[in-house]
Amino acid sequence: MTAGKVFYFDTTLRDGTQGENVSFSADDKIRIARKLDSMGIHYIEGGWPGSNPKDMDFFTKAKAETFHNARIVAFGSTIRFGNTPENDPNIQALIEAETPAVSIFGKSWNLHVSEALGISPEENIHLIKESVKYLKSQGREVIYDAEHFFDGYKADSDYAICTLLAAQEAGADWLVLCDTNGGTLSNELSEIVGSVRKLVNAPLGIHAHNDAEMAVANSVAAVQAGCTQVQGTVNGYGERCGNANLCSIIPNLQLKLNFAGIPQEHIANITSLSVFVSELANLSHSNQLPYVGKSAFAHKGGIHVSAVIKNPDTYEHIHPEDVGNGRRVLLSDLSGRSNIKFKAEELNLDLEKYQEYIPTIVQELKQREHDGFMYEAAEASLELLIRSITKNATETFDLKGFRMLIEKNEGEPIRSEATIRVLVNGETEHTAAEAAGPVHALDQALRKALIKFFPQIDEMQLSDYKVRVLNEKDATQAKVRVLIDSTCNGHTWGTVGVSENIIEASWQALMESFCYYLINYYKTEPTAQSAS
């Protein structure tokens, strides 16, 4: 028997990107939205339409997507004082985004009303009512975010409640209580939510920030006090100290408190989601993240290891497999086997007849992880590795060699030239290409070499390229990890390369991207005919 139903509202793509060093392209946002949808997340806030071209691009691309579980949400504010909804650019941008749901924030704290907006309390109430009423008249589900609600309630509880009642009377579907400054403690938050619950009829939500490191605890406490929507981000990304971390909230609510939310079997994908988003953000995945971090179920020597081998419950608060993580114990590779089998199933690779290869795959992955490889956002490279070890690879092409020339003349732009030799179907192709950058030159030279045998190769395009320095202390001798995303006819895949040489790392990722395409999406056998 469940404790009740909770709805998850992910704002990684909007509030999360306000965090320092967090940035996603529109295509990144689409890939993350797909992952969130497959998890069973109920709402995905994509950005603030009209505020920047990237967010508008996302909403345009999202219209072409089919989301099976999530509602895409556009974010904005109430109308500006002096405007009507019909002539307010922000409100009209929300309408033009054509999302089924919208999230708007309004002022709950009289300090902000008087000093930030410079209007009267009554005028602020008018802005809230008119904004919600208009958006409802346009057929949108309206999620009203009561900004600075807890600070506003402590300053003037009557007025803070009035702002909620204004949104409710105008038809808001949700009233979300925001701890915008992130300084509220759980005991006072629970008390306030309980009081509000008695005064309003609309469903309540919680939006917590982590400035006092209380965001997850406050979100859980809010649900226990009556909130049924929880807003947060993957990995807690967000402005200042971040937002509430959904990767902790979901297992806390569902595994420990027995709330219903996302499908129970999808909770095992949370670690994969966490790493995937950190890779696309080009940020290191923190080992110390609860539930999903590499160290969350790590045990080092002595009494701990001895006890865990006998009974994992001695030092683990849940089973790591429940959240898709793995136990790291020197004397056991059980978690590695489980992860490989899970990932192989996710990639539609049947390992049942290759059981004898699983230990080899586990050991190879461990070694590659030690060398700096990361496969959570490079599923194509992982599939190629498994195919290679199980001797289930399909021959596409072999590199015989390549050479790179970088030239810079005074007063002229830098020029890169790549010369490459590949063996395809017993025939060697020797081609060259010139471009502004070395990776682009390699890409063009490889396409020239392959197009004779695979005429449709140009249907595949590189869509993103990321480089991360792995050991900064080694300065210019440091290893780098290159992540390349590629697309073809709506399919997207990632590949990875690691080396002290950025060109070699780029080549690894580039070559595997082409190999994956030829194996999975190019069904014609290689020929020796020309592209024409």
Beta bridge partners, 410, equal: none
Contact 29, 47 (CB under 8 A): yes
Q: Considering Cα of 271, then 272, then 278, then 282, what sign does the dihedral take? A: positive
For residue 72, the 8-state DSSP code is E
Whose CA is closest to 14, among 83, 92, 97? 97
Q: Tell me the CB-side half-sphere exposure of residue 2, using CA atoms within 13 A.
A: 12
Lowest mean pLDDT among 195-199, 449-453, 472-476, 511-515: 472-476
- Encoded tokens for 187: 């005991």
Rounded to an integer, what distance in angstroms lies between the CA atom of residue 463 and that of residue 488? 10
Residue 497: the pLDDT is 96
Distance, in Å, from the CA atom of 281 to the CA atom of 1, rounded to the nearest integer, reads 38
Least Cα distance to 520 among 379, 338, 407 occurs for: 379
Task: Give pLDDT tens digits for 289-326.
Answer: 999 998 898 876 556 666 777 888 888 999 999 999 98
pLDDT of residue 210: 98
pLDDT in tens, 188-227: 999 999 999 999 999 999 999 999 999 999 999 999 999 9
Rounded CA gap, 395 and 519, in Å?
A: 8
The residues near 374 (Cβ < 8 Å, ≥ 6 apart) are 275, 279, 285, 481, 496
**Per-residue confidence (pLDDT) for residue 116, from 0 to 100:** 86
Find, among 210, 201, 287, 274, the residue nearest to 241 by Cα.
Answer: 210
- Quote the CATH superfamily of domain 7-280: Aldolase class I (3.20.20.70)
Whose tokens are 């509430």? That residue is 244
**DSSP 8-state symbol, 467:** E
Q: With cut-offs at 50, 70 and 90, classify the pLDDT of residue 525.
A: low
H-helix or E-strand spanning residue 494: strand 491-499
Share the mean pLDDT of the chain. 91
Per residue in 421-446, pLDDT (tens digit) is 999 988 999 999 999 899 999 999 99
Place of tokens 């072999």: 398
CB-based contacts of 147: which residues, under 8 Å, 6+ apart? 105, 106, 107, 108, 109, 112, 178, 180
Tell me which residue of 90, 152, 89 sits closest to 125, measured CA to CA.
152
Tokens 């008695």, residue located? 198
Residue type at position 60: T
**Hey, what are 265's tokens?**
């079997």
Q: Give the type of residue at 330.
A: L
Q: What confidence score (pLDDT) does residue 529 get?
A: 47
Q: CA geometry: angle at 5 spanning 250 and 137, to 5°? A: 105
